[in-house]
Each structure stands twice: as C-alpha cells, then as structure tokens.
Amino acid sequence: MAGDGEYKRDQNYITTRITADGRDGYPVEPGRYRLVVARACPWANRASIVRRLLGLEDALSMGIAGPTHDERSWTFDLDPGGKDPVLGIERLQEAFFKRDPEYPRGITVPAIVDIPTGQVVTNDFAQITLDMSTEWTAHHRDGAPELYPDGLRDEIDDVAEKVFQDVNNGVYRCGFASSQEAYERAYGKLWDRLDWLEERLATRRYLVGDTITEADVRLFTTLVRFDAVYHGHFKTNRHKLTELPALWGYTRDLFQTPGFGDTTHFPQIKEHYYVVHTMINPTGIIPSGPDLSGWLTPHGREELGGRPFGDGTPPGPPPEAERVPDPA
C-alpha cells in the first residue's frame, strides 16, 4: 500500500519458465507438472480457461484449492483428507518452501508445481498462459485455437496491458484503496477504460481480430466477476455489467463458449471475496445475489461476425472432476 492510500500489487513472481527446449531446466513433459488453481481467483481462472481451450488436460493435471485461505496460503480443503491427491500437500505454500525455504512473497495461484520434486516452478500468471499457447504446442488437442497468433501479438499485448492496468488490477485498486483520493483515481481510470471497451466491442465481436485470443481470456475473468463481487464489494458501482450492452453481450458470448463458463464457479468466487477480505467485509456475510439466470440468455453477438475458434473447433466437455455448477 502506497503512502497516498493507493493499492500497489506485488508483481515479483517466480519467473522460471517451462519451455519446449527446457532452457530454464524445466522442459515441457506431459504428466510431469501440476497446475494449481483456485476457482475463485481471476488470475488462476485464466490458466484454467487456456488449458481447456488448448486441450491440455491430459498433459497438465490440475489441482484445485478451496475458495478461502488464511495468511499462510491456499489450502486443498476440497480434496479428501485436505490434501492434494497428486502433490500430497495441504497448503500450496509447501511447494513454494520446497523451492525456497525462505520464500518471502505471497503464495499465489496459478502456480505450476514440478511433481517429482514437489517444488513450485512458476507463479508468473501472465507468462503461464502465453507459454501454454507457444511452448506446449506438441500437446495441444486437434482443433486447438491460436490464442496468441504471431501476426496479432503486438496488438494483443497492447490491449492486454491496458486491460490489466485499468480493469484487471483496476478493480483491486478501487477495492483496496485506503484513501478517498486513491479510490476516486482508480475508479475514474476503471470506468474510462470500461467505456473504451464498451465502444470497441460495440462493433467487433472480440477484442483483437475475429477470433478468441489471449486478450479476451484476460478481460473475461474480471468481467464475469463484476456484478457478483466487484460492483458492491470493491465499490466499482457506476453501472452493473448487465447495464452495459456491448460488454454484457460480449461476456455472455464468451461465458456460453466452451472453456469459459464451464470454468467459472460463482459460489466459490463469492465465498472467497466476501470471507477472505475481512478488512472490507468484517461480518463475512456472503450476499445471496445477484440473479445469475441471465448468463445463459441469447447474446446476439453472432451478428458481428467472427469465428470463436478460427479454423479450429470447440473443446469437448470438461473432465467430470473439473465440472462446475451451472448458474442458477
């Protein structure tokens, strides 16, 4: 937290990469690594979406931490005995401490753990999904989409950076601000960017090009949480997402696309934010709303053209153990 009350995100992550050539000591190998996510977390949700879209389920297993945690890190309380069945640990911090017994920073998801050693390899959420697209290509499913195509990378990177600064991180800068001035600055930047996105998406189906890309994945995970938590809990309340025609249609379009809605777990999302953030919600009461029935209503975005998977195909249904409940 800055002296002026502005929330500053610690962006120092473990930047070791898993690559096809293994240049950091961790070559791509099916079955060797475990992706650890929490359904509640938007940054982790990105990784679970990309893994689904690319069909990496058989090559990269996934552990799911529960929605709540204490200062010691995410726990595997959803699993029998409270332990991840592959890693055999109760808390994600155990994998971080195996890598560095003095690890000084936050224990974050997503994280990829090297199963043989039990050590975390990386928690660099932005690079993890890019590497899934570019380094794990030998294990992509037939029909996997190009989420980070060569010819669009500069534009994807530019849009994604704007979205990160003002929207993905912007909602946190609103919610965790500790002064009125810092909150209002963050609120202004958030809504300036959401207005920009509303205008951009009024005439195009996707953020960059005519197919789903990494940029869409990154925006979706914030928008899908907007009305459920950010609007009230983080005081981002100029409008609800449902009051923004282009953004609401765009987010519903993605939600109804295999890989997006079927990785979104609204009950866990709400439980995490309203229970863990005791400084914002000291009672720990979880709101009953909002009404989720609108997520499956027609969006009409097909009229703008575009092909969700380009020359590829949708992924099949998620593995039974990874299913999430349908929105009520």
Instruction: List the binding residues for glutathione.
Output: 74
Residue tagged 């998406």 (tokens): 201
User: 305 exposed, middle or buried (CB, 10 Å; 0-12, 13-18, 19+)?
Assistant: exposed
Backbone angles phi, psi at 99, to 5 degrees: -75, -40
Whether 172 sits among the annotated catalytic residues: the reply is yes
Give the separation between CA 50 and CA 87, rounded to whole angstroms. Answer: 22
Helices (H), the chain: 42-54, 93-99, 125-134, 153-163, 170-175, 180-200, 214-223, 231-233, 245-255, 266-276
- The gap from C-alpha 155 to its chain's centroid, in whole angstroms, comes to 20
Reduced to 3 states (helix: H, G, I; strand: E, B; else coil), residue 236 is coil
Could you tell me if 5 and 13 are in contact, meaning their C-beta atoms sit under 8 angstroms apart? no
Task: Tell me the binding residues.
Answer: 74
Could you tell me if 287 and 229 are in contact, meaning their C-beta atoms sit under 8 angstroms apart? no
Of the listed 41, 206, 230, 274, which one is catalytic?
A: 41
Nearest alpha carbon to residue 190 among 125, 286, 182: 182
Residue 11 half-sphere exposure toward CB, CA atoms < 13 A = 8
Whether 230 sits among the annotated catalytic residues: the reply is no
- Which residues are identified as catalytic? 41, 172
